[in-house]
Structure 1
Amino acid sequence: MWTDGRHEWRALSCRSGISVAAGSGHYVHVDRPDLAIKAIQRVTAQATRRW
């Protein structure tokens, strides 16, 4: 159910993505801060890019 739902959410935007945080629990920012930082950087780069 979760897998199907996340792909439906992803289809709502051409700039969305799905990340799998292997080795993480519910608190990804605590368990895998490297992934949280990369995601924030990716969103920031997209927001500041001129279209």
Structure 2
Amino acid sequence: MWTDGQHEWRELSGRSRISTAAGTGHYVHVDRPDLAIKAIQRVTAQATPRW
């Protein structure tokens, strides 16, 4: 049920994605900061104008 809900949220945007971080707990940013950094960089790259 939880996974279905996540996929419903993802459908609200053409830019969203679902990532699964094996071996992590609830605090992914603590367990795998590299993944959190990459996700933030992806979002900011999409939001930054390319002039």
TM-score of the pair, normalised by structure 2: 0.90
Residue matched to 1:5: 5
Change (3 A) 1:48 1:10: same
Separation of aligned partners in 1, 2:19 and 2:38: 10
1:20 aligns with 2:20: yes
Counterpart amino acid of residue 3 in structure 2? T
Percent of aligned positions with the same letter in both sequences?
A: 86
Counterpart amino acid of residue 30 in structure 1? V
Point out where structure 1 has 5 or more consecutive residues left out of the alignment. Answer: none
Point out where structure 2 has 5 or more consecutive residues left out of the alignment. Answer: none
Separation of aligned partners in 1, 2:37 and 2:31: 12
Residues 1-51 of structure 1: per-residue CA shift (max 9 Å, x gap):
11100000000001110000111001101001010000000000010145x
Query: May I ask how many residue pairs the two structures share in their alignment?
Result: 50
